[in-house]
Amino acid sequence: MKKTILISFIYISVILCFSGTGIAKDKQPATPGNSSKPPAVAEVIETLGNRFNAADFSARFTQESTLKAMDITDTAKGKVWFKHPGMMRWEYETPEKYAIITDGKTLWIYRPEDNQVVVGDAMTYFSNGKGASFLSNFKLVKEAFTVSFAKPEDENHYTLKLVPHQKQLDLSEILLNIDKQSFDIQSVDSINAYGDETRITFSDLTFEPNMDPALFHFKPPAGADIVKLDQ
C-alpha cells in the first residue's frame, strides 16, 4: 500500500504543480461558468492556467487510497507546500509521520521513525508526460493528456478527465474537481488500470508568494540509513 501511495503522490503532485491548486484567492478568474453558454474544455484549461501559473501555496490535505481487489482503503492526512517551478513538500502526519520532498531535481522520502531517507532523481519519476515541462504551465497538460469533461460531482463543479497519451498500468486517468465560481481545484483523483483509486482533498488553502526555497531541500540527519531509489 505504501508503494501505491508513493506512485499516486508522484502523479498528483505533477498535476498540482502546473495547476496551482486554486490557492491564489486574491486573483479572481474570468470564469467561463459566469456565461449562460457551457464552456469548452479549452476555456476551462485556459482559465486555470491564467489564474494559477507559478502560484506558490500551502494546504491541508486528506488522502484516501483504495486497493480495489483487496477492498482496502487507507486514509492519511497532513500538509503540503508547493513552490514553482517543481518544488514540493508533503508532510504526512497520520497514520504515520513521513515527508516527501523535492527541489525539482532530487526526490527525498524521509521516515523519521526508521531514520531512513530514500533518495532518487526527481526527473526520473516526472518523465513521460510528468516532467518539468508541465511544472510551470497548466496549458502544457494537453501535451501529455487527452482532456475532456466528466460527470461532475454536482452542479457547482466542473470535473476534468485527464487520460495520458502514453498507456500506463499505474495511471489510467486523473479527475480534477473544480469549483465553477472560484476555480479552486478542490480534489484530485487518480485511478490506475486495476481500478485502484487515490483521492486527495484540500482545505485551508493559503497563497504564499514569499515561500522560502529552503523548505524544499533536505539534509539527511546524522546516522540515517540512505537508500537509493534507482539502485
- Segments making up each domain of the chain, as ranges: 2-228
Q: State the average pLDDT over residues 158-165.
A: 91
Contact between 52 and 43 (Cβ < 8 Å):
no
- Residue 26: is its pLDDT beyond 70? no
C-alpha cell at 70: 483487496
pLDDT grade for 88, boundaries at 50, 70 and 90? confident
The amino acid present at 206, given as its one-letter code, is T
pLDDT grade for 139, boundaries at 50, 70 and 90? low
The model's pTM: 0.79
Residue that wins the pLDDT comparison between 192 and 117 = 117
Q: State the average pLDDT over residues 35-44.
A: 80
Q: How far apart are CA 203 and CA 62, in angstroms?
A: 8
Q: State the average pLDDT over residues 49-59.
A: 76
C-alpha cell at 213: 526555497
Residue that wins the pLDDT comparison between 229 and 140 = 229
Q: How far apart are CA 159 and CA 132, in angstroms?
A: 24
Q: What pLDDT score does 135 carry?
A: 39
Q: Tell me how far the alpha carbon of residue 81 is from its chain's centroid.
A: 11
Contact between 174 and 56 (Cβ < 8 Å):
no
| DSSP code, position 218 | -
**C-alpha angle 59/65/71, rounded to 5°?**
155
Beta pairing partners, 148: 161
CATH 2.30.140.10 fits 2-228, yes or no: no
pLDDT grade for 129, boundaries at 50, 70 and 90? very low
Helix (H, G, I), strand (E, B) or coil at 35: coil
Q: State the average pLDDT over residues 4-19.
A: 52
C-alpha cell at 9: 503522490
CB-based contacts of 186, cutoff 8 Å, min separation 6? 22, 157, 177, 178, 179, 201, 202
**C-alpha angle 164/168/171, rounded to 5°?**
70
